[in-house]
Amino acid sequence: MPDADGWIDADHNATTPCLPEVVEAVVRCLRDDTANPGNRSHPAGRRAQAIVDAGRAEVAALIGADPAEIIFTSGATEACNLAILGVAERAITQRPGFVAPATEHSAVLEPIRRLSDHGAAVRVLPVDAAGQVTAERFAAALDDRTALAAAMLVNNETGLIHPIADFAALCKQHGALLLCDATQAPGRLAIDVGRLGCDLLTLSAHKLYGPKGIGALWLRRGLALSPQIVGGGQERGMRSGTPNVPGITGFAVAARLAREQLASRQARLAQLTHRLEARLLAALPGLRIHAADAERAPGTTMISLPGLPRGWLTGLQRTRASGGSACQQSTGRPSHVLLALGLSEADAGNSLRLGLGIQQSEADVEAIAADVTRAALALRGSDRTGGGTRKK
């Protein structure tokens, strides 16, 4: 369905629209529940605290966790920073090692890289052409001085699924912690922290049809972090500041719906993704779909067309898309994920990430495919013969 400007949203990996149930719950909270949950001397404050507690339980249920293990943050970026820097402050003198694949989100790579200024031994792991890190390469990067390794469950640009449970088992052999950025997974994959075996996991509400400005860090029971925002001691002393009660309200509703509707969302996104990719491969000779033959979460298609002149993204007339992570678009640099996959700077800078959503129709997909195809053909000429390839 086109937006108010007449554009169709193919940028759901950057953010998702709030579902009507989420909007209704947030508006009701903003109107009716105005107290600070830290003040429990009156009914309104106790009611606000009950909302926070209920929200914590819903987010925990989404990932198979205990509510007491959930720390609310302003989003996944803060949650990743809290996890990495919070571990580092406690461990870096004895365990200076930090490990991450080169395709991790900048919210993981940047804090890890900054630790090198404080004596950390940082290892950023190369990946294959699909963005995968082999278990052998991951294992070789670990030793008994590794404090923490990181691996995202679903890559935000290609949709590639990492074998988190395998990585967790390797970390345990060395007593290292594993951080899993699961921001792109809810509603696309079932998440169970027990089965994953990780020690920390991050989430963001606005990637699962909830509001912006609220996220969470799951911290396995028994682990301790050094807080990065100090003050009133909220969130068990791990993250001070008045809780975002309306945000937590919306997060809770979005988390519940993602859990309850998982099967139908997976099927719908898989169907739409297959249709989109089939249309594009048939229409654009030489098209590459990155990580196409690897295990991917439904809804994400990263494409490139080698040799295409610059201007594919800006040539779109009615499709909201991106050239990679939304967080990196503002820098003007090519996607570090695609560079890690081996693309040239020119091809990486002229790639498209198409992210589909659960509210979209087959007609939306046909319109996206037509717009992407038109923009590409306008750049490289009218050659419409042949078909594309799926990049392994």
Block residue for tokens 């996607």: 335
d(CA 238, CA 229): 8
Phi and psi angles of residue 269, each rounded to the nearest 5 degrees, phi first: -65, -40
Token pair recorded at residue 270: 């898989």
Task: Tell me how crowded residue 284 is: count the other CB atoms within 10 A of its CB.
Answer: 23
Neighbours of 361 (CB within 10 A): 11
Say how far apart CA 39 and CA 370 lie, in whole Å. 55
User: What tokens were used for 226?
Assistant: 């050094």
Place of tokens 């589909």: 356
Q: What are phi and psi of 98, to 5 degrees?
A: -135, 135
- Is the distance from CB of 303 to CB of 280 less than 8 angstroms? yes
Alpha-carbon span 84 to 93, nearest angstrom: 14
Q: Active-site residue 180, yes or no?
A: no
- According to DSSP, the residues that pair with 296 across neighbouring strands are 160
Q: Could you say which of 29, 171, 180, 327 is catalytic? A: 327
Q: At what angle do helices 245-260 and 43-63 cross, to 10 degrees?
A: 30
Catalytic residues: 327
